Every structure is written in C-alpha cells, then in structure tokens.
Structure 1
Amino acid sequence: MSERVTAATLASMEHLPPPAEELALLDRELAGLDLRRSQLLHRRAWLLSVLRTPGPLTAAPPPVPAFPPPAGRPPGPFAAPGRPPVPAVRTGGAQNVLLTLGGLLLTVAAIAFTLVSWGQMGIGGRSAVLATVTVAALAAPAVLLRRGLSSTAESLAALASVLMVLDAYALHEVALPETGGLGFAATASAVLAAAWAAYGLALGGLRLPLPAAVLVAQLPLLLWAWAERADALVFAGALLATAALDCAIAVWGKGVAVRVTACSGLWVTGGAGLLVALVESLAADAPAGAVAPGALLLAGSAIALSGARRAPAAVAVAGGLVAGLAAVAAVSGVLVAGVPAGWVVPVYLLCGGALLAGVRAPLGRPAGQGLVWASGAVTAGSVLFSLPPVAVSLAGPVSQLGRVWTGAPQGGARGALGAAGLPWSEMAAAPVVLLVVAAVLAAAYRSWEGVLRWAGPVLSPGPSARGAVGATAPVLGWAGLAVLPAALDVSYAVAASVQLVLVAGVSAVAVGALRRGMTGVALTASLCGAVGAVGVALLSLGSEAATYAVFGALLVVFVAAAAALDSAVAPASRPGRMPGAVQAVAACAAVVCAVVLAGACGASLGLAAHRAAPLILAVPAVTVLLGARLKARTVALPVELTGGAAALPALGMAMGDLPFLALVLALCAVLAAGTALRPERRPVAGYVATALFVLASWVRLSASGVSSPEAYTLPVTVAALVIGVLRRRRDPAASSWTAYGAGLAATLVPSLLAAWADPHWLRPLLLGAAALVITLLGARWRLQALLVLGGAVLALDALHELAPYVVQVVGALPRWVAPALAGVVLLAVGATYEKRLRDARRLRDALGRMR
C-alpha cells in the first residue's frame, strides 16, 4: 500500500509545470482576482447610490463593466459583454434642481399676484384665492411625505412659508391699514415663528420650517423695541432676551439645522446686546448709571455660561471667554464710574484676576478654560494700556545727545525725558499695573506645582508654559520700576540713581538665573539690563558728574556680573552656551564703559581731540593684559576684540593732526606686537603689528614734509630684508610675507605714493624698474610676497604713467565708444566665462603654492 501511494505521489509530482509556467499561472490568477474585486466594488457603489437617493428607483441598474477573464478562468457571474457604460447623472440631484426651480417660479408668481394683481379682484375672491392656495400648500407636504416624496414636500413647504408671509402682508394692507407697520411686523413675525415651529414639529419629515421659525424668531422683540422708540438699554435687553431664546433652542432643539441656526442667532444677537450694554456702561458718569448696563452684561454672561456648559469643547471655550469678559465689564463698569481716569485700568485688572475664582466652579473644563482665557485677556489688555509711559521712559534719554554736559536737566525726571507735557495723571497707574502683574507671575513661577494642583482640573499647561511665565515676570517688573521715576516726577539725580540700581538688580537676577539653569528668566533679565544700561547711560550725558558716576557704576556692575558667571561658563571648547554668551556681553559692555570714561577724562582736562586720543589707548592696553591673564577662557577673545575696536575712536580723534596720528598708530602697533607674543594670537596679531608699524612710519614721513621717502625707508628695507633672509635660512618653511613683506612694503608703498604726486619721470621709472625686478625674483624663486607686492606696484606705476594719455585718447573719441567697448568686453568675458574661471582658479592655486 505504501508503495502504491509513493508511486502515485511521484506520478503527480512529475505532472507539475516548470517554475516559469507556474509563475505565469499564478500571475494570471491574481489578475483575475483583482478584476473580480473591481467588478464587485463597482456594483456596491451603485447599490449605495440607490439607497441614498430618496424616492422610488427610477432608473435601471447600470450593467457591471465587463473585463476579459484571465486565461484558463471562466467569466464571473457579473461579467457582461461590451464596454463599461458611462455613469448617468444622479436622479436625486436632477430632481432637486427641478423642484427648486419649480418652487422658485411659483413663489415669484405668488408675489407678483399679491403685489400687482391684487386690486383686480374683490374682497371675497382675494380671500378665497389666498386661503385656498395657502391651505393647499400647507396640506400637500403631509400627503407627499407619506408617499416618500420628501423633496417635493420640501419645495411646497417653502412655497407655503412664502405664502404665509404674503398673507400677513395682505392682512395688514386690507384689514388693518391703520396699524403701525413696525408693531404689526413684530406681531406677525411672532405668529409666523410659532406657526412654523408647530408646523415643523407636526410634520417631522420636513427640514425647512423649524430653522425658518428660529430665524424669524429673531425679529419680534427688536421690532417691538423699534416700534416703541425704546432707548439703547431696552434694545440691549431685547437682544439679550432673543439670545436667551436662541441659547435654549441651541441646547434643547432637534436637528442639526435648527441648532446651527439658533447658535448663529445667539452669537449675533448676544454679541450685539453685550456691545450695546458695554458702551452704555463705559458712558456712565456715576455708579448708579452703570448698574443697569452692568445687569444686562451679567445677564449676557449667564446666558453664555449656560450655553457653554452643554456646548462642544471649542464653542464652550468661546462661551466661557465671552462670559468672563462680560462679567468683568459689568462689575468694573460700576466700580470705575467714580474713579479718576488714571486708575481705571487697575480696577479692570483686579476684576480680571478675581475671575480666576470661577475656575473651581462646576462649569465643565472647556467653560473653565474660557474663564482663564478671559482673565488672561483682561490682564494682557491692562499691560498694553500701561506700556505707553514705558516707551516714553525708554526713548526719552535719547534727547540728552543734543545737550551733552550742559548741566542737570530742568524739570526733574520728566524734563530729562523731554516728556513734561504728556498727560502723566492719566498714566499714573501704569507702574502699579506692571508691578502687580509681575509679582503675580513671579509667584506663579515659584509655586508652579501649587498652580497645577489648583488649576489642574481645568488647565493642562504645556512644558514651556512655566518658562514663558518666568521669562515675562522680570520684563514687566523692570518696566514698572523703569517708569516709576517719571510717574512720580522725581529729581534728575534720583531718576538716574533709580535706573542705575535697576540695572544692577536685573543683572543680579540674570546671574542668579543662569546659575540655577533658568535660561528663559536669564535671557529676558539680561535684555532688560542691556536696555536699561543704554537708557541710564544716555540719561547721564546731561551732567559731567552724572556721566562719571553712572559709567563708573556700570563698569563695576558689568565686571561683577562677568566675574560672577566665571564658574558657570564652560571652557572655550563650548563657547555657545548661554552663560558664556552673557558673560562675554557683560565683559564687552565693561570695556565700552571704560572707553567712555577715558574719553570723558580727556574732555574734562580740556585736551583737544587729537591730544586726548592716546588716553583712549589705555583701555586696549588693559584688554591686552587681561587677554594674557584670561588665556583660554571664553570671554578672552571678545574682550580683546572689543579693546581692539576701542582703538578706532582714538584713530578718528587723531586724524586732524598727522604727528599725533603717527603716534597713535605706533602705540597701536606696540599693543598688537604685545598680543603677538602669545602663540595663539601670533598668526593675526603679528601681521596687524607689522602693518601698523609701517603705516605709522609713512604717516610720520608725510607729517615731516619728506619729499624723498626713499632716504628713510631704504635703510629700513635693507635691514628688514637681511633679517628675513636669515629667518628663511633658519626656517625654510617660514612664509615670504613674514620674512620679506614688511621690509618691501616699507619702501614700495611710500615710493608709490610719492610717484603718483611727482610730475617728473625719474622716480616712476626707477620705481617701475625696481618693482619689475622684485616681480621677476618672486616668480623665479616662487615667493608670493615678492610676486604680489612687486606686481601690484608695477601695475599701479604703469597706470600712473599711462593715465594722461588714456585721458587724452578718451577725450578725443566719441562718447559712444566707451560703452561699446565695455559691452564688447562683457560679451567676451561672458562667452569665455568658464575658461576665465578656470584660469583664475589656476592662478589662485599657483599663488597658494608659493611661500
């Protein structure tokens, strides 16, 4: 038996197709399955469209598209011959279009009949026509709904709604012509809203009557108030009463269309009512006059909260926000009615803070979030209203630039800021608002866990919320204290002292925050300190004594801040850390303060600008020594660069006197040479020192009236070249610029300047010959310094000699020749741009390989 099974198995295995044929067979089977799935999906889509279309089936089902069956597989049961038919237009869409057009035409006809042909019939005929048509239009939808013709029923219901409005108009024109139009319209709108609501509830299959009833229900109270010529408060009450009705419908109404319509009406009528009540509350000049508007605002707040408790999350948050703002406006409006104008904002701020008590009320989380947003909006608005005096206090010190050392400004702090004429009585509460908000934020930052426990059921602040709170607190606190001297109108000395103490305080806050890793607080405190330092520095320029006192104190503050951050700064391998950046800024600010003090000393001594220039160089000298002391610390390089930049004002001051300019250049060269003694600064400082020494010698020669500088520069050049040759023998890898650059430049550049001012031919000839020799030697020995310096001097010397002839030729040629030549050159360069670029690169590489 086992032998027979084994034989049968072997026989069946022998009939298996080869792998290539089996793979092709599998592919055909899979393709057939995909085609079959497509057929079934097409049939399913058609069936869904039939089920979704109201009314009986009016079209035959489309045939299932046929696909050729795979080889070796019979066609499926849904396969049909021929190509797939083109999908027909949906019958439901066409039916709705036709019904809409028919209802619209009937409506137009009814309006034309009522307005135009009404007077051609008697009283009985008119009544009979309207009654018959209206009753028929109202009764027909019930019959149509029972037969499943919902679209036709909707069209006739819309026609009936229009006929009912026309009936009301006809009733007023025929039976009640003496009745006031607004009063009748109010009554008619109320009756129509009730009738349509009852009709829609009775025929639950219609979608139009109930939203139409809600829409018309917005009119009765407003039309009644208009007819009675009521005042603004009555209008606001009518709007809020309508909003209350809308809120009830939006919460308990049936159907999405009804709720959406009611919600839209709620936002329109409620918002308008609250706006009118707010305007009346702000216009009240006594607490009694603000009570009625406040009551309306509280009523609006209650409506918003009642709707927010049952609304979706986003709508509930918006409702809580509106409720909170309305409540704050209601209470604050009564309290500020008898308060001076300058203290209105603190009242609103306190009421906005009290609004946070509602967070713990059982209002639901979204509504509670809306209350928190309302409190935050009131707080932000209070801060914004308090910022104008801060801007005045920050920008006012700039006015001292026009009266440096003219004496202490008159008029106290406001006079020093140039803002004595501003209405400070209306801005008196600005420091209070800013300081209160800063204190609250600081307390929340320090007790963050308690804030989370208290507001946890409502708020879930993100990880960055605490950082934002902590970063905002020092800014507002600094702003409040900065505007305090102007608000109190203290004396000039007191104002400068307060600002100086404030800079020291925020600097201490920044240092402490950096030590604790609170980067947000440290960043904002540092920025406040920098802005405050600039402000008090400018403010101190009005008085000589104030300048010394303020800049000296700022120097001490910045040095102390930089020293205090020394332990928190990473080594120079990580200079991007924030403590290192803050320390570098503080150290550079200290250098700037020292430069100002040095310049002030020169002015106090009565020295001319060029004679005071060497005093400025005392600061770079100190920074050179500090750089050697600080060595690899992060702050070393910024301090040295700032000290080097301090030499620029000294050079500018000495420009008016060439001997002093040469002296200042020589002193700068000495400082650069001292910096070059350090190996890490030698590559840059060495070249700077050489250039400054050479430049100082040129200026000195020019100041002495030397017309033949070669007599003084050639001995220096010879000595420098001998030293360069010896240096290259000891160190063949030394650069040619280090060995020969300074020596050659010491003679070539002064000679070139003299040649350009020399009308004779001998000096340019000798200079050109010497430059040619130097250029050839540089090319022969592959020395970059000789090639570049010699070639540049040779080119400039040749240009000087050819310039008169070029000018003469250009003057003789027509004016169009120059632009034409320029165009030709540009075209030639553009056509061979890639080649020229390669040539330039080869030249650069060749120069780079030279020493």
Structure 2
Amino acid sequence: MRYADPAVCPECRSPIASGVPVCPTCRLLVRHPLAVDLFRTLRRADTLLGELRTASDAFHSGALARASVPAAASARTSPAAGGVAGPVAATPSGPPTPPSAPPSAPPSAPPAAPPAAVPAPPARTGVAMTSVPKILLGLGALCLLVAAAVFLAVSWSTLGVGGRTAVLAGFTVLSGAGALGLQRAGLRIAAESLSVVSLGLLGLDLTGAGAAGWLGDIGPGGTALASGVVVALAGLGLSLVRPPRGSRLSAPQVVAAVAVLVAYLGAVRVSGDWLAPSHVLTAWGVVAFLGARRLAMPLLGRCQVAVAAFCWTLGAAVAGFRVVAEPTLHELWIDGSGWSLLLSGAALLAPGALLARRDLLVAGASGAALVLTGVLTAPSLDEGLGVLGIVALAVTAAWVVALAVLPAPWRGVALAPSAMGNLVLLVLGSWTALLALDRWAAIGVLLERDLGITLRGPEPVAEPLLLVPSLLVVVAWTALVTTGRRPSQRAGWLGAAGVVAGLGAAATLASYDVALALPVTVLLCVALGTGAVALGRRGPTADASAWLAVTLAGAAGVAALPSAPLTMLVAGAATVLALVLATADPRGATAAGSVAAAPLLAMATTGAILTTGASTAWLAIPVLVALGVLALALARPTVELPAAVVAVLWLPISLPAVTDLGGFVALWLTVAGSVLAAAAVIHPHRRDCGWAGGALLLLACWVRLVDLEVTAPEAYTLPLAAALLGLGAWRLHVSAATGTLQALLPGLLVGTVPSLLWVLADPVSLRALALGAACLALTVGGAALRWSAPLAVGAGIGAALVLRELGPYAGEVPKWVWIGLAGALLTVVGITWERRLDEVRRAAGRLGRLR
C-alpha cells in the first residue's frame, strides 16, 4: 500500500477523479496548497518506508547467518542466558570451581548497505479507473432515456389513463429515489446518472401529458414552459440534497439550467414576444447567482448565469433590431423597444455589483452608457444623414470631453459610447470624401489649357461642413485613448490635427461647385506646412513629417492634372519644397525630398510645356533635360534613380505624337548619353557612367543611321573603333605596363573585321583597296613601333584579303604548279626542322662539356 496515491482521497481513501478540486465523499479540498504539502509528506513517508524495509531485510539476513553456530557452543550456554540444561553430571570432589564469567555480548551486525532508491510508480496509461464507471453509467443513462422515449411513443396509445399514470410516475419516482439512495451510499457517479434519468423522465412525462391534453389547451409553447419550470424546480431540489458524508450532485444543477432555457423558449412562444421573457430570465439569473453563492453551489450559479446571459443577448438584439428598423418615438416608448434596451443596459451593471469588482462595474457602466446613448439618439436615424451627422458629432464630442475630464478610475465609462460615436463619424466622413473624389473624377479632362476648371458632379449626401469638426473629434479621441493626457505628446497631436483639418477642408470644398484651384491650393498649403514642420525637427519625427509632406504635395499635383497651368504652378511649388527638403540637414528629411524631386519636376515641366500650347511630342526631351540637370546638381542615388525611371516613363508619352520616330529616339538617346557623360566628367564618383553614356551615344548614332537607311558598315563601326582606339592610346600613355593587345586590339578588330566580311563578298571594290591600304599601314606602323596588336591585325586581315583576291584566279593555274609549290614548301620545312634539330644537339654537347 502507498500512502501517497493521487487517485484516492488522503482522508477517506475513496477514489477521486483526476482534476477534481474537492473529494466527492468527504468534501476535502484536494487541490489546496496544504493538500500539496501533505502529498509531498506522504511521498516522503513512502520513501522512508521503503528504506526501512530494505534495512530490515538486511538485518534479518545477518541474524540468520549468525544463528548457524556449532552445537557445542550452544550446549555451554547457561540456563540463565536462555540455554537448554543438559543432564546433571556428577560433581567432582574438591573445592567448587568459581563461576564462569558472563557470556560476552554477541558481535554486532555488520552495517547495512545503503537502501536502494524506491522506484517511482510507472506513469499511468490508458483509461483511468475512475473514468470507467462514468462512461458505463453515462451510456446506461442515455439508453434508459431513449428506451423511455420509445416506450412512451409506442405504448402510449395502448395504455389506459391509470396505466399511463402508473408507468410514468413509477419510473420517475424509482429513478429519483434510486439517485438519492445511491448518493447516500457514496456511489456518486451512479447517483449523477440516475438523477439525469429521473429528470429526463420527468420532462418526458410532462411532454406526454401535454400532448395528451392533461395540462389543458396550452399548446406546444405552454407545454415547453410547464415542462421547463417543473424540471428546473426538480433539478434544484435534487441539487439541494446533501448527505452527511457526501456532496451535492452536479448533474441536476446543469439539467436545471437547460430546463430554464426550455422554459424561456416556451414563454417566448406563448407570449409571442422576446423582450419580457428575456428580462425575466435576466432577473432570474441574478437571483440564482445570489442564491448559489449563499449555498456554496458555484456550478449552479455559473450555469444559470450562462443561460441568463444568452437570454439577455437575444432580448437586446431583438430590441436593437426593432429600433434600427423603425426608429420612431412610438416604437421606442409605446411599443417598448426603448424601455427594453434601457433595462438591458441597466443589467450590464449587475456583474460588477454582484462580484464587487470595479473594473467590471466600469465596463458595465460603459456598455450601459452606450445603450442609453443609442436609445436617446435613435430618432435621428429617421431624419436623414444631415441630422444624423449633427447629432453624432454633438454626442460624440460630449463623450470625448467626458473621457478627458473624468477621473482616471472612471474614465472607462466614456470609452464605449465615444468609440461608437467616432465610428459613426468616420463612416459619414468617408462617405463625404468618396463623393468629393467622385466629383473630381467627373471632370473628365487632362492637362487642359484652362485655369478655371470647376468641380461638378453628384450632390453630397451628408453635410460636408461637418467633416472637419468630425475629423478633429476623431483625432482628439485617438490622442486621449493612445497617449492619455501627457503634455509631452501634445505637440505631435496638434500637428496631426492640423493635417487632418486641412485634408477635411479640401474635401469639404470639393463637395461644392467651386474652382478646382481652391481644394488643390488648400492641399498644397497643408503639404507646405508639413514640410516646414519637418525642417524644424530632427530624427524619426522629421522623417515622418517629410514623407507626409511630399506625399501630400504629390497628391496636390495629381489633383491639379485636369488643368495644365494649375499643374505647372502646384507641381512647381511642390518641387521647390522637395528640393528644400533634399538639401536640408542630412539628419532630417533629405531622403523624402530627394525621392520626390524628380517626379514633381517632371509634372511641373509637363504643365509648363502644355500651357504654351505645344504638342505632347515635345514632352519627353525637355523633361529629360530637366531631370538631367537635377541629377547633375544632386548626384546621389535617391535623386538619380527616380530621375532615370521618370525619364524612361515619360518617353512613351511623346512617341504617339512624333512624326519622325527614328530621329526623335536618336535625339533622346543622344541627350541621355550626354547627361551620363557629363556626370562622369563632373563627378569623380560617377566615372562608370561614362561607359553607359558612350553606349547610349553609339546607340543614338546607329538608330539615326538606320532611320537614314545607311547600309555601309563603316558608318556604324568606325566611330566606335575611333573611340576605342582613343581610349586605348590614352591607356598606353598613362600606364607603361599595359600591352597593345589589351589597349588597341578591341578597336582594331571593330574597325577592320566588319569591312573584311563585306570584302569577302565583294573582293573587287573600292572598299577592298581601302582595307588593303589600312592593313599595310597597320603592318608597317606596328613593325616600326614594335606594337604587336597593329602588326598582328594588319598582317592577319591583309593575308585574308590577299588570299580572297587570289581566289578568282586559283582555278586557272595548272595543277602541277600547286603540286610543285607544295613540294617546295615541304622541303623548306624539312630542311629548317633538321637544321634546328642539329643546333639543339650541338648546344647539348657544349653543355655537357662544361665543368
């Protein structure tokens, strides 16, 4: 037997299930901290008991070994010592011998070996022993209920009134009595199962009685109501029974809550209304919670509160739906939906009051304030969005003020109604802003030469004048919720309020038939103000303000696109703002201004060109020049990369209106290449741009030559060859370690190989004569200067050219001439080979004779 057994109660030794906080038999708190200490002590007792058993076994094994001594030694043991006396021998004559010394104590047993550690009990696997009866009894109860239902359905018509009454009452009474008897006997699980059976049979009894007309003409709703009330009372009665050495049953408490829910649904069907039964059940939940707390029945209280919360939710939802569907005074105060919502809101105070918790009380008060606000402002829903906006603004502003002035412990009361009011204001404000955007899109023109374009379109649904104060209320609420009333955050929120107010003013102006320049100017002023704030700050705040400023400036430029003069003015001012930000302190807003400068400058240039009446064909190149100047002035990646992207994007805008496509593209490539070359010359850290600029210039030449239908290869290759040879000669001049193959070979091949390919196709031409002269000059010059690249290229290209010139006459030479030439060539090669071999032998001999 173990003292520490988690599956049994330490006091009454009755089995307990895993996770149960209280022993069902003796009501001992088995999960209390003292119970944990007791369990540790019992485990220590099990360990000590095991050690004691080991020591005892070792001691008895040693005593048994000591007991096996010679029989003679055992015979000399004195009787007083407990030995067995032998036959009395004759006493020899003479003086008596002195008594012998007392026997020595037996040698002590050897020290016991240290006890082995008591092995820990194996981990439990499979189904716990206490779970088996629960499963079996649960299935048994289910089978009994199903059998009773089937019996009731099948045999009801065959039994008389007396038989029916006897069967129903007998089964119900027997099951209830059995549950109480099993509870007194300590068989809790069986008692729980039979209690469920008895209450289920009681419900079936009442249902059958109602169907048979025993309860009168009350209908299905009345039967459900009566059944629920009776079963709930019976469940409460069974829950209150407590034996002397046991605990109350749990299943009847749960069944009582389910029966209350059934009674609620029956009452709704009987009355045809959801509101009154919901309030009655809500009040019943409060009473049940108080009674359960007084009787120390937490399960009953939780179940009844859960049912009451469900009924409260249904009642509040139905009342709220009725108010929204018909927000009239008659519906609110005559039909009772408003009163119902007020009662539902008052019920939210119950949890905090019952549990004496201020946080729950504040949360309930906030919900009640929300319900009260909704009921009082509901009639405005029937008066149009204008009136709704005014009411929502006034009420929300009042709650925001309350949020600011209430003491800290009670500030949460204003949180729910102010949050809902801000949500309404945001919905109405978003609607106004979307309609303003729709009016801007309805202009339908782009970059017209008209500064007085007027906004027209659908009329606003909500009142546009409420947009700015509504947005300011939302900003104030957000500031109070997120940062409280800390003065350190006040400046940032004031700036945010200014930006939001400016945006709201622009949207408000766009909601009326005014000139487009008005809302665009307001938007630009907001951007300029935000940029000024960014210039006066440092760190992340400056970066955020700068990005917001350039974003608003870009939005103003986009909004001005219907008018070319307005675009020129707005985008020009935005470009100045971006350049100021780009040249500000590097610790501030440089990145935002640098990135935004190129697109804003392109928009301003486009507006200026189209204002003069020029065609869109003249857009790409002036924009490219302007962006090139900007990139040369601010040579940083955040300026150059956006400028390159914008320049490429602006090129397709001009192409549809161009008459000479090839010449236009060549000119654009020339300007782009010149800008890159200039960047390589002006800025030392942009030397690599020279290669890209040269490539664009060469591509511009080729495009122009194709446009002029030039087919001679020299027009395409000689400029590139000349550039490469010039760079190679400069490289030879500055670096003595550079060879001619590295410096001059690319240019020489570009200048000669394409012409050689054309000469191979047409050997008798002026091109062949010029190529031959060039090869002769390269060969002679290379030999004179001792440069390998010109000598190799001149000799190789010249040899190929000579052989190609000999080709037409090769067929007219007799065959014996070719054979003789081959023999002579082989003879010369053989003689040379043998001579060189002889020279090698003589050199080896001289080397061997050296000392």
TM-score, length of structure 2 as denominator length:
0.66
Does 2:639 match 1:639?
A: yes
Structure 1 residues 541, 108: CA separation in 2 closer, same or farther (over 3 Å shift)?
A: closer
Matches of 1:288 and 1:740, distance apart in 2: 101
Matches of 1:624 and 1:56, distance apart in 2: 89
| SS class of match (1:116) | helix
Matches of 1:720 and 1:215, distance apart in 2: 95
Aligned-pair distance for 1:202? Answer: 3.5
Does 2:138 match 1:134?
A: no
Does 2:332 match 1:290?
A: yes
Structure 1 residues 624, 56: CA separation in 2 closer, same or farther (over 3 Å shift)?
A: closer
| SS class of match (1:327) | helix
**How big is each residue's C-alpha offset from its partner over 1:121-159, in whole Å with a ceiling of 9 and x where there is no partner?**
443443344334333333333332222111121122112
Aligned-pair distance for 1:116? Answer: 2.8
Matches of 2:627 and 2:559, distance apart in 1: 26
- Match among 251, 257, 272 for residue 214 of structure 1: 257
**How big is each residue's C-alpha offset from its partner over 1:6-55, in whole Å with a ceiling of 9 and x where there is no partner?**
xxxxxxxxxxxxxxxxxxxxxxxxxxxxxxxxx98996678889652579
| SS class of match (1:176) | coil
Structure 1 residues 434, 325: CA separation in 2 closer, same or farther (over 3 Å shift)?
A: same
Structure 2 counterpart of 1:481: 505
Aligned-pair distance for 1:320? Answer: 6.0
Q: Decide whether the 8 Å contact of 1:716 with 1:746 is kept in 2.
A: yes
Matches of 1:196 and 1:386, distance apart in 2: 55
- Match among 579, 583, 586 for residue 593 of structure 2: 583
Higher helix share: 1
Does 2:205 match 1:167?
A: yes
Structure 2 counterpart of 1:509: 530
Q: Which amino acid aligns with 1:670?
A: S
Matches of 1:713 and 1:129, distance apart in 2: 115
Aligned-pair distance for 1:676? Answer: 1.7
Does 2:110 match 1:106?
A: no
Structure 1 counterpart of 2:378: 333
**How big is each residue's C-alpha offset from its partner over 1:722-769, in whole Å with a ceiling of 9 and x where there is no partner?**
5632432223578999966995698589979x979x997999x98999
Give runs of aligned pairs for residues 330-729 of structure 1, distance below 5 A.
Answer: 330-334=375-379, 336-337=380-381, 339-348=383-392, 350-352=394-396, 354-355=398-399, 369=412, 372-373=415-416, 375-394=418-437, 397=440, 403-405=446-448, 412-413=454-455, 415=456, 420-421=457-458, 424-426=460-462, 428=464, 431-432=467-468, 434-441=470-477, 444=480, 448=483, 450=485, 476-477=500-501, 479-487=503-511, 489-491=512-514, 493=515, 495-513=516-534, 515-517=536-538, 519=540, 523=544, 529=549, 532-543=552-563, 547-563=564-580, 566-570=583-587, 579-600=589-610, 604-607=612-615, 609=617, 614-624=621-631, 626-627=633-634, 636-645=636-645, 647-648=647-648, 653=654, 656-710=660-714, 714=718, 717-718=721-722, 721-722=725-726, 724-729=728-733
**How big is each residue's C-alpha offset from its partner over 1:168-213, in whole Å with a ceiling of 9 and x where there is no partner?**
2344325334344423432442343234323322446111222322
Does 2:16 match 1:52?
A: yes
Matches of 1:538 and 1:589, distance apart in 2: 11
Aligned-pair distance for 1:296? Answer: 1.7
Q: Which amino acid aligns with 2:276?
A: G
| SS class of match (1:178) | coil
Structure 2 counterpart of 1:802: none
Structure 1 residues 136, 669: CA separation in 2 closer, same or farther (over 3 Å shift)?
A: closer
Matches of 1:745 and 1:646, distance apart in 2: 38
Q: Decide whether the 8 Å contact of 1:321 with 1:370 is kept in 2.
A: yes
**How big is each residue's C-alpha offset from its partner over 1:490-529, in whole Å with a ceiling of 9 and x where there is no partner?**
32x2x33222322331442254156435846963x66665
CA RMSD of aligned residues (A): 5.3
Identity %: 22
Q: Higher mean Cα deviation, 309-318 or 547-556?
A: 309-318
Q: Which amino acid aligns with 2:526?
A: G
Matches of 2:370 and 2:748, distance apart in 1: 80
Matches of 2:466 and 2:758, distance apart in 1: 69
Q: Which amino acid aligns with 1:384?
A: V
Q: Which amino acid aligns with 2:222?
A: G
Structure 1 residues 364, 688: CA separation in 2 closer, same or farther (over 3 Å shift)?
A: closer
Structure 1 residues 126, 549: CA separation in 2 closer, same or farther (over 3 Å shift)?
A: closer
| SS class of match (2:192) | helix
Higher Rg: 2
Q: Decide whether the 8 Å contact of 1:141 with 1:152 is kept in 2.
A: yes
How many residues were matched structurally? 685
Structure 2 counterpart of 1:9: none
Unaligned residue ranges in structure 1 (runs of 5+): 1-38, 58-62, 453-462, 571-577, 795-851
Matches of 1:736 and 1:668, distance apart in 2: 32
| SS class of match (1:707) | coil
Structure 1 residues 191, 677: CA separation in 2 closer, same or farther (over 3 Å shift)?
A: same
Q: Decide whether the 8 Å contact of 1:328 with 1:348 is kept in 2.
A: no
Aligned-pair distance for 1:306? Answer: 1.9
Q: Which amino acid aligns with 2:595?
A: V
| SS class of match (1:706) | coil
Aligned-pair distance for 1:467? Answer: 11
Structure 1 residues 606, 360: CA separation in 2 closer, same or farther (over 3 Å shift)?
A: closer
Q: Decide whether the 8 Å contact of 1:196 with 1:212 is kept in 2.
A: yes
Structure 2 counterpart of 1:575: none
Q: Decide whether the 8 Å contact of 2:698 with 2:720 is kept in 1.
A: no
| SS class of match (1:148) | coil
Aligned-pair distance for 1:482? Answer: 3.6
Q: Which amino acid aligns with 1:339?
A: E
Aligned-pair distance for 1:399? Answer: 6.0
Structure 1 residues 599, 149: CA separation in 2 closer, same or farther (over 3 Å shift)?
A: same
Matches of 1:686 and 1:522, distance apart in 2: 34
Q: Decide whether the 8 Å contact of 2:676 with 2:693 is kept in 1.
A: yes
Q: Decide whether the 8 Å contact of 1:401 with 1:538 is kept in 2.
A: no
Matches of 1:481 and 1:289, distance apart in 2: 39
Q: Which amino acid aligns with 1:677?
A: V
**How big is each residue's C-alpha offset from its partner over 1:428-464, in whole Å with a ceiling of 9 and x where there is no partner?**
477256423345258749x956369xxxxxxxxxx9x
Q: Decide whether the 8 Å contact of 1:197 with 1:213 is kept in 2.
A: yes
Structure 2 counterpart of 1:198: 237
Structure 1 counterpart of 2:275: 236
**How big is each residue's C-alpha offset from its partner over 1:555-605, in whole Å with a ceiling of 9 and x where there is no partner?**
2234235425744423xxxxxxx723222234334322333235425xx34
Aligned-pair distance for 1:484? Answer: 1.0
TM-score, length of structure 1 as denominator length:
0.66
Q: Decide whether the 8 Å contact of 1:475 with 1:528 is kept in 2.
A: no
